Amino acid sequence: MTTQRIRLPELTWGKKFPEVTIDLEKCTVPFLCKKCLQVCPTGVLHVVRVMAKEEKLREMDPRVPGNYELFAARRHKCISCNLCVEVCPIDAIKIETPVEERIRPSTAGEQWGKT
């Protein structure tokens, strides 16, 4: 199974980002479906062309499997609504939402270094 994972910093302003995994063996022709691209309210998903298959001065056909790939370009904008997971007809998208933990002092004086 070929999967694509984007590594962003784990903590940005104290927020952990969802892990968006796309199975590229299942989603081979994203331009024929486009359901996930249309339903995402924040525009997380993006389609990119495979540079290894590109030939100079030739147009790439979006209907040929493997010419384009689905890519989670804006993972930091994902709100974990799971609309893309529900609408995907081939079940190629998975979203793992991290647990948000708030760090709070256990006693009142601990915050300022007093006990």
pLDDT tens digits, one per residue of 18-32: 999 999 999 999 988
Q: State pLDDT tens for residues 50-94.
A: 877 777 778 888 888 888 899 999 988 999 999 999 999 999 999
CATH class of 3-112: alpha beta
Residue 7 to residue 12: CA distance in whole angstroms: 13
Q: What is the pTM of this model?
A: 0.68
Q: Alpha carbon 109 to chain centroid distance?
A: 41
pLDDT for 72? 92
pLDDT for 40? 94
Q: Alpha carbon 111 to chain centroid distance?
A: 36
Residue 75 to residue 45: CA distance in whole angstroms: 8
CA angle, residues 99, 105, 107, in degrees to nearest 5: 140
